[in-house]
């Protein structure tokens, strides 16, 4: 009897719970019906244009929306069979498919199957990013229900086919049909439709322009599934498999595998603009005019591909900027967007190594240093209060054990010289100049700061060097020049504001000093740090590299262009000495590629600056016995003499 009562209670609870779910579900549906419908034809229509106003990216919106009646039945049949066989039977979610996917994934230990329906994919493509969080899943569920309640199945399918990504910037079946086959979507054959339907799963892999064999293999699999499910006959299957495809889409800038890094960075910047209402960020419907220079982007990507070892996990980030405006012309956030969407150009900060030294040396020039200012190059231990010591080491243990000039210290990237300068000026000097140049990262006033122990974002570092490149003006690195709504109303326009923060004469001197990094006249007890790429350098360029155990940088410029390259591992493991070549070669190939055919964009010598022929190692005026001589520059009245003291001696006397 007690057992019967217990069963009865459980049964009542189950019935109550079931009624509660049913009432709750229908209440939810009623609430959705009373709410405003989702606007799907303009949702997430983010149109991005490059610096020549050519469209290079389109969000989930479509250039041309075609009704379902104008889409080939072959496309509709193949899409439903491939993506969501029970599309017309479920209410946005396919329980059987979810259970099957869970079983397959759990038993295999891998994520081999997905369970998203067409409605779920459409909701995600329209309104969500691709974060795999529970919050995003709940949003996806809610938006899927709103789609199912607000629109018919045909309307959902029509919207889905007009907004999915078919690769190469082609969103929507009509654009894809025109791009790949030069025909309307309504005229696609079964073979053509199956090929296009296979692309959205992975556009970077299944595009016939990227890998025809792989795209053809997927097309055959889709056709075979149609045959197995009795959607087509055996004759139709064989005919479609053997049909010769005439693909007319040409490889163009849309094929750049890294261009999505630029697009992601644009979206991040867009979200930071207070002038853009939240409603536009949520639903789209805007045109974004960017500073993307497609030629520069192509050259930068080719430089990465030609120099990076694809078999290594070593990663890369690079930024190319117009130093006179702060416009970011090209950006790479990794080796390949299809394998890693983590954007190292704006999402990461890394130790900058000796690329920090030019900031220190500008501060030194402001405080009386010259190109010939000398410190002893020898192993040095610094002792501080509480008997704390610090012993910086030069790379490879190379020391001249003699006085060397500032120019030589830059050429060899001498760490001891940098720390001596840092301590001589005061540990606050480097922090102060960094803040003046726009660096916002945490910087500690410690002896090792000039050796690049601080972690800084590559865009900030590029903008800091831009102030050297433009002869003293602080610029704001940015990707967006203007934003309009779809009616052409301007919502935002970037105003180029340049603040004069540096002395033109001193930036001229510093820029010249930074050409010493690949100048053979500095070969003595050591070699210039970038001497290996000297044969590739055709234009006069300033350059500084930076090395830590985990990072390698190359940043350089002329009056026209500034480029920064970082190479390292995402997990901060140590990089090998042989890996240092990557950033330098990417940098020089990108710079020279962009400047090919351009005259030298170097700097006019200021009237208060004089050139003096000196021994570059000692910084003293050159004599007939000097094997190496070079003209170096000085503010008038600070030219070197043969009797100038070594700064170590000045400090000792004080």
User: Known catalytic residues?
Assistant: 83, 354
DSSP count for the chain of H helices, then E strands = 22, 20
3 state SS of 377: strand
Q: Report the C-alpha gap between 274 and 113 in whole angstroms.
A: 41
H-assigned helices in 35-152: 73-83, 95-108, 118-127, 134-150
Q: Report the C-alpha gap between 50 and 252 in whole angstroms.
A: 14
Q: What does each C-alpha distance from 126 to 83, 86, 103, 168 come to in angstroms?
A: 17, 22, 29, 19
Beta-carbon contacts of 349 under 8 Å, excluding residues fewer than 6 positions away, are 441, 455, 456, 457
Q: What does each C-alpha distance from 6 to 1, 14, 15, 19, 274 come to in angstroms?
A: 9, 12, 14, 20, 61
Pairing of the two strands 551-557 and 542-547: antiparallel
Q: Report the C-alpha gap between 350 and 475 in whole angstroms.
A: 21
Residue with tokens 């149109």: 47
Which two three-digit tokens encode residue 155? Answer: 């309307």
Query: With the CA atoms of 267, 273, 277 and 283 taken in that order, what torsion angle do they form, in degrees rounded to the nearest 10?
Result: 0
Q: Report the C-alpha gap between 421 and 169 in whole angstroms.
A: 51
Cβ proximity of 551 and 304 under 8 Å: no
Q: Give the Cα-Cα-Cα angle 360, 361, 365 (nearest 5 degrees).
A: 125
Residue with tokens 């170590």: 648
Q: Please report how the helices 357-366 and 415-425 are oriented relative to each other, as an axis angle in degrees rounded to 10.
A: 40
Which two three-digit tokens encode residue 72? Answer: 């080939």
Radius of gyration of the chain (CA): 31
Q: Report the C-alpha gap between 36 and 28 in whole angstroms.
A: 14
Q: Report the C-alpha gap between 459 and 345 in whole angstroms.
A: 7
* Strand residue runs (E) in 421-500: 455-456, 473-474, 480-485, 490-493, 499-500
Q: Report the C-alpha gap between 272 and 252 in whole angstroms.
A: 31
Q: Report the C-alpha gap between 18 and 13 in whole angstroms.
A: 8
H-assigned helices in 426-514: 428-436, 458-469, 504-513
Environment class of 627 (CB within 10 Å of its CB; exposed 0-12, middle 13-18, buried 19+): exposed
> Which residue pairs from 77-80 have beta carbons closer than 8 angstroms and sit at least 24 positions apart in sequence?
77/193, 77/226, 77/231, 78/190, 78/193, 78/194, 78/197, 78/222, 78/226, 79/118, 79/157, 79/160, 79/161, 79/197, 80/118, 80/157
């Amino acid at each position: 009897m007690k057992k019967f009562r217990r069963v009865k209670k459980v049964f009542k609870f189950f019935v109550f719970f079931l009624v509660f779910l049913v009432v709750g579900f229908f209440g939810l549906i009623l609430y959705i019906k009373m709410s405003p419908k989702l606007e799907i034809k303009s949702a997430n229509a983010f149109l991005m244009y490059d610096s020549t106003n050519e469209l290079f990216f389109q969000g989930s919106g479509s250039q041309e929306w075609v009704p379902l009646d104008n889409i080939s039945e072959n496309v509709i049949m193949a899409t439903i069979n491939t993506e969501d066989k029970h599309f017309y039977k479920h209410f946005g979610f396919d329980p059987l498919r979810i259970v099957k996917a869970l079983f397959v994934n759990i038993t295999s230990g891998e994520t081999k199957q997905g369970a998203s329906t067409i409605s779920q994919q459409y909701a995600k493509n329209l309104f969500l990013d691709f974060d795999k969080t529970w919050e995003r899943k709940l949003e996806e569920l809610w938006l899927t229900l709103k789609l199912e309640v607000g629109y018919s199945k045909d309307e959902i399918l029509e919207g889905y086919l007009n907004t999915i990504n078919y690769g190469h910037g082609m969103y929507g079946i009509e654009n894809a049909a025109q791009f790949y086959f030069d025909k309307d979507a309504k005229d696609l054959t079964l073979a053509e439709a199956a090929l296009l339907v296979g692309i959205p799963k992975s556009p970077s892999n299944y595009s016939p322009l990227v890998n025809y064999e792989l795209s053809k293999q997927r097309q055959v699999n889709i056709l075979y599934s149609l045959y197995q499910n009795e959607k087509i006959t055996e004759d139709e299957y064989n005919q479609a498999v053997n049909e010769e495809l005439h693909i007319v889409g040409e490889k163009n800038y849309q094929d750049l595998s890294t261009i999505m890094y630029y697009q992601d960075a644009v979206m991040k910047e867009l979200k930071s603009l207070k002038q853009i209402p939240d409603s536009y960020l949520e639903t789209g419907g805007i045109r974004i005019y960017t500073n993307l220079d497609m030629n520069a982007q192509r050259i930068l990507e080719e430089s990465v591909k030609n120099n990076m070892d694809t078999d290594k996990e070593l990663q890369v980030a690079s930024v190319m900027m117009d130093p006179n405006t702060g416009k970011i012309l090209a950006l790479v956030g990794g080796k390949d967007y299809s394998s890693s969407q983590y954007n190292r150009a704006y999402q990461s900060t890394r130790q900058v190594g000796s690329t920090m030294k030019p900031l220190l040396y500008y501060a030194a020039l402001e405080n009386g240093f010259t190109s010939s200012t000398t410190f002893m190059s020898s192993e040095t231990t610094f002792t501080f209060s509480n008997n704390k010591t610090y012993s910086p080491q030069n790379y490879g243990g190379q020391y001249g054990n003699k006085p060397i000039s500032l120019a030589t210290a830059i050429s060899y990237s001498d760490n001891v010289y940098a720390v001596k300068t840092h301590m001589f000026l005061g540990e606050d000097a480097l922090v102060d100049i960094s803040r003046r140049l726009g660096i916002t990262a945490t910087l500690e006033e410690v002896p090792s700061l000039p050796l690049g122990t601080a972690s800084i974002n590559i865009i900030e570092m590029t903008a800091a060097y831009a102030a050297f490149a433009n002869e003293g003006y602080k610029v704001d690195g940015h990707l967006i020049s203007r934003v309009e709504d779809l009616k052409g109303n301007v919502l935002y326009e970037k105003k180029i504001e340049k603040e004069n923060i540096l002395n033109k004469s001193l930036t001229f001197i510093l820029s010249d000093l930074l050409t010493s990094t690949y100048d053979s006249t500095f070969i003595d007890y050591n070699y210039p740090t970038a001497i290996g790429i000297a044969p590739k350098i055709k234009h006069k360029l300033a350059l500084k590299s930076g090395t830590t155990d985990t990072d390698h940088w190359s940043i350089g410029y002329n009056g026209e262009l500034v480029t920064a390259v970082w190479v390292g591992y995402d997990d901060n493991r140590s990089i090998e000495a042989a890996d240092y070549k990557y950033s330098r070669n990417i940098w020089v190939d990108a710079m020279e590629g962009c400047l090919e055919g351009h005259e030298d964009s170097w700097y006019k010598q200021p009237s208060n600056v004089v050139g003096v022929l000196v021994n570059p190692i000692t910084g003293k005026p050159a004599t007939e016995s000097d094997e190496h001589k070079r003209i170096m520059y000085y503010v008038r009245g600070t030219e070197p003499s043969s009797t100038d003291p070594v700064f170590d001696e000045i400090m000792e006397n004080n």
